[in-house]
Amino acid sequence: EDQVTQSPEALRLQEGESSSLNCSYTVSGLRGLFWYRQDPGKGPEFLFTLYSAGEEKEKERLKATLTKKESFLHITAPKPEDSATYLCAVQAVTGGSYIPTFGRGTSLIVHP
Amino acid sequence: DAGVIQSPRHEVTEMGQEVTLRCKPISGHDYLFWYRQTMMRGLELLIYFNNNVPIDDSGMPEDRFSAKMPNASFSTLKIQPSEPRDSAVYFCASGTERAQETQYFGPGTRLLVL
């Protein structure tokens, strides 16, 4: 069974204080690992897809990296508007079906 | 582009009643996904469609749940009869063949079953 564990559950940062969110996964063959951002009362918003170990992707203050067992979402010099819940999901290479498994998320609060 | 549209945004009903949630995907998207999000279980995929055809409904919790997509611009998720444990936020998302992983989520329907 595919599993995704995100840590920490909650993270409070001061504006400008860089940090990383972790997503550990076990999957029977990784097709892709996804990061989403979810604001309160809204649907998740797609951020990145990573396909293979060693891959990195960046968007503004966010950088996602991938190893064979985990992914990190690095947040550099965060701002209050980066406050949100960040979700990680994996998709396994199993037949032709597309069933992502989501983690519970990390709730990030950035204080001004 | 209006994005994925869901209705209603909030629904309060009593146990045993039928509930119908509606979704209009982004025009031109050929994949449509229904998710449920709860504090206990997080975000779970219930069912997804490709070109209006259900591809995988293994996430549908039980026979009380059904989903249809009569055309490319409309889908419904129905719960009959509803139970208190069905209380959750239900999301619809759409995507394209070329970029299945990039799913665009709607704002969700917050369902409370009393």
CA–CA separation, B45 and B60 (whole Å): 8
According to the model, what pLDDT value does residue B60 have? 93
Alpha carbon of B43: minimum distance to chain A alpha carbons (Å): 6
Amino acid letter, residue B48: Y
- Residue A82: phi and psi, rounded to 5, are -80, -5
Q: How many residues in total does chain A contain?
A: 112
Q: Is A46's CB within 8 Å of B48's CB? A: no
Q: Has residue B2 got a pLDDT over 90?
A: no
Task: Say whether B80 sits in a helix, a strand or coil.
Answer: coil
Cβ-Cβ contacts under 8 Å, A105 against chain B: 42
Q: Is A103's CB within 8 Å of B101's CB? A: no
How many of the other CB atoms lie within 10 Å of CB of B110?
A: 16
According to the model, what pLDDT value does residue B35 have? 96
In total, the C-beta contacts within 8 angstroms joining chain A to chain B are: 47
Alpha carbon of B75: minimum distance to chain A alpha carbons (Å): 17
Residue A42 has its nearest CB partner, among B44, B100, B107, at B107
According to the model, what pLDDT value does residue A29 have? 84
Cβ-Cβ contacts under 8 Å, B101 against chain A: 32, 34, 46, 49, 91
According to the model, what pLDDT value does residue B43 have? 93
Q: For residue range A10-37, what is the model confidence (pLDDT) as tens digits?
A: 999 999 999 999 999 998 888 889 999 9
Cβ-Cβ contacts under 8 Å, B91 against chain A: 43-44
CA–CA separation, A107 and B62 (whole Å): 31
According to the model, what pLDDT value does residue A97 have? 62
Tell me the torsion sign for CA atoms A101, B50, A85, A64: positive
Average pLDDT, chain B: 93
pLDDT higher at A5 or B102? A5
Q: For residue range B4-35, what is the model confidence (pLDDT) as tens digits?
A: 999 999 999 999 999 999 999 999 999 999 99
Q: For residue range B38-82, what is the model confidence (pLDDT) as tens digits?
A: 988 889 999 999 999 999 898 898 899 999 999 999 999 999 999
CA–CA separation, A33 and A70 (whole Å): 9
Mean pLDDT, chain A cut into blocks of 10 residues (112 residues total) = 92 97 92 94 93 95 96 97 96 72 95 96
- According to the 3-state scheme, what is the secondary structure of chain A? CCEEEEECCEEEEECCCCEEEEEEEECCCEEEEEEEEECCCCCCEEEEEECCCCCEEEECCEEEEECCCEEEEEECCCCHHHCEEEEEEEEECCCCCCCEEECCCEEEEEEC
Q: Has residue B1 got a pLDDT over 70?
A: no
Q: Has residue B98 got a pLDDT over 70?
A: no
- For B31, which residue in chain A has the nearest alpha carbon? A98
Structure token pair of residue A80: 């209050």
Element (H, E) at B88: strand B88-95
According to the model, what pLDDT value does residue A8 have? 97
